[in-house]
Every structure is written in C-alpha cells, then in structure tokens.
Amino acid sequence: MIGIDICSISRFSNMKNLDKFLKRYFTNLNIDYILKTGNRDETIAGIFSLKEAFVKAIGTGFGNISPIDVEIIHNFSGKPDLIIHNEIIKKIEDLSCSVSHDSDYAIAVVDVKFLNISINTKNALECKNLILNRKDDGHKGDFGKVGIIGGSIGMCGSVDLCAKASLRTGSGLVYNICPNSISDILQIKAVENIVLPISDDNKGCFTFRYIDEIIDKISNLDAIAIGCGLGRNEENAKILEADAHDRRGIFPLSVIKESISCWDISSGPGKLIVGDGVEDLFYQGYDELDGQQRVNVGNFGMTYDVIIHTCGKGQYRLYFNPLGGIYEGVFTIKEKSLPLVYEVKGRRRYFGEKTIRDTWPMGVWHAGQDLHLHFVIAGATYLPFQFLLVPIDA
C-alpha cells in the first residue's frame, strides 16, 4: 500500500506556538535532528509529511496510531527511514519511504508491504458442514423461531445483542419478549428482531402477575433464552422457580481438591469419583434470586481444580467413565507440561450407558508426577462420573 502527502513549507514559517506543535507531533530525536540541521522549515515539513504519508498507507489516519509513534530517522547522507512504535508494526513485512522538496512544498511517499497472514479455515469449514442446506423456496418461518426473554429498565442492551446473535447464527424469526416499559427502547434498536411487550404495571421489569402472557408468547417457539438483563428482584424469583435440583441461580464457586494419599501405580487401578454426594459432597450456597441457602445437587456449574498425587514408576492411562449416564464436557489435564484439552462427546453411539465398561480415553501419563485436572461440571448432564487410572501393564 502506498501513501502520499504534500505539505506546505510556509505553514511552519507562519505558525504560532511552533514549539508546542513540535513537542506534540515530533519525538525528541526528530526535534534534535531539526535543531542540528539549522532549524529549517523544509526539514519540519518533510518529517511531518512522512508521518502523514505513513498513516495514509496503512489506511487508518491518526487515530489508533499517534504521530509520536511514527519516528523518522536519517542516515549519514540524510536519507530518511521510518521507525514505528506501535503494534501495527507486527503486521508489516517491509517499509520504505522518500521525501522531496520543491518550491514551497514537501512531498512524501511511503510504501508499506503487509505480511500475508494465513487464516486457518478448517474449523470454520467443519462448523459450516454441521449446518443443513436450506431449501431454495424456504422462508424465515422455516428456519426456527427463538424467543429472548429478558430486559429491564437500564438493562436493554444485552437482550438486543442476544437477539442479533441469534439472527446471525441462522435463526429465522427472533422475538424479544420484554417488559412493556422498555419495549419502545427495543423497538428503536430492532431491525430484524420482533419485539413482544409483556404487561408490567410500569415497574420496569417482569412481574409474576402477568406470567401467563409470557407463557402464551413462547408457546409456539422452537427455543427460548432467558436471563439476560433481568436484574435481581423478588418478581424474578417467583417467575424462575427453583428446579428439582435447587440449582437455579446457584452460587458460583471454585472447588480445590487434593488427594490425601498418593496413588501407587504398583497397587493396581485407581479412581476418583465426582458428583456422587458421598465421596464428592454437594455444596451449599446463596441463591442470588431469592436469597435462600440451597444445596447444589450435583455441583453443576462449579469449577473443579483437582490434584492427584501419584507415585511409583511407569505409565498409566486415564479414562473418563460416566456412571450416571450420558455426559458431555471439556477437561484440561496436565502434569508439568502444557495442559492438554479433552472434550467428552456424549453423542457417540452407546456412550454413557451407566457402565464401568463405557470409557473415554484421556491420554497416557507418568507415575511419580502430580496429575492436575481442571473442569466445570456441565449442566443438563448425568452424574456421577469418575476418572480411572489404569497402569499400562495391568
């Protein structure tokens, strides 16, 4: 990319507060060079023109990059070159410049060659293959109806963004189901999404009195999302009743577990069970919606950091075993090296049949080193599950 700038020399001859201008737009190195070469207006105009030509070449102007970030240096013969003190330099492969003076003008040319940054499209193509081709004669009513239930006074942005995200990922019809008090705001923001207001007696939030209106609006939808922008109030606690597992709005918590004893590889297979309520107790916490203390039956949504001490010599295989049924989730596992990520996919045929024989391999590890496991117990999955440590020669 080439940037060109022409600058009047006389503008600096007549400029008031030239010293302030130089301190604002020129580095100390540039100012020293101007003074050492006779403090000429031609030099000032040439350096400033080079700065302008550079930001034109990269197509940004002085916005994300400051004039001070563009520094001009000169070799022994006076030929200029550029030094860039900005992150943009990481995207530039080569940079050249030239400046000329004629009568009352300085003319600068900067040539910027950007790096060829390759983009890995493999994952994007894999995702694309999961999307079914749409019929040529289809219309938006054929491609799924989604309801976004949320919003309250002062919290309108998240529901609008949620609706736009749903549309961008292919949903045919998207409805913002919101309190009537904020419906006008969402109507202004909405272009493709449809706003369905719910009576709220001007309270600015959903009220339990009109829950039948919400139920009526979602009766013919294919999917709903609820929660964004709701806020915390007693009415929401009534609408979102605690489920059978008491894990509605459950507290966030990180659990750190460390094995008391060291598993010796010579003693045979070992195991660690999670989510059974006996060896791995269920935790109590504060329900943010109604202020009640509740037990998280399953510890869903909680972050686990587990350290298993191992001893002896040799290698062992680690397996994931779903004792409760189908499970899907992501686990990060490491010894001393960088962590490896394992994704358990319950969609595999027959996986998750509540049997000790149904396992998912999670790599080969070394006895004598601590094994670190990091994961979040995924919601809508079956518990308990366990990790099996099986010596390779067993």
Cis amide bond preceding 179, omega within 30 = no
Neighbours of 257 (CB within 10 A): 14
For residue 330, the Cα-to-chain-centroid distance in whole angstroms is 16
Q: CB–CB of 282/335 below 8 Å?
A: no
Helix axes of 28-36 and 41-58: crossing angle, nearest 10 degrees: 150
| Distance (Å, whole) CA 143 – CA 223 | 12
Does the active-site annotation cover 101?
yes
| Distance (Å, whole) CA 306 – CA 312 | 20
Q: CB–CB of 299/283 below 8 Å?
A: yes
Helix (H) or strand (E) holding 129: helix 122-130
Beta-carbon-side half-sphere exposure of residue 379 (alpha carbons within 13 Å): 10
| Distance (Å, whole) CA 331 – CA 319 | 12
Catalytic annotation, pick one of 16, 20, 56, 313:
56
Please compute Rg for the chain using Cα positions.
32
How far is it between the farthest Cα atoms of the chain?
91
| Distance (Å, whole) CA 29 – CA 346 | 63
Q: CB–CB of 217/266 below 8 Å?
A: no
Strands 105-114 and 385-391: unpaired
Q: What's at 229, amino acid-wise? A: G
| Distance (Å, whole) CA 313 – CA 123 | 39
Catalytic annotation, pick one of 16, 91, 101, 164:
101
Neighbours of 3 (CB within 10 A): 19
SS3 102: strand
Q: Reading across the β-sheet that carries 194-198, which strands appear in turn? A: 194-198, 173-179, 145-149, 223-226
| Distance (Å, whole) CA 320 – CA 386 | 6
Active-site residues, by number, are 56, 101
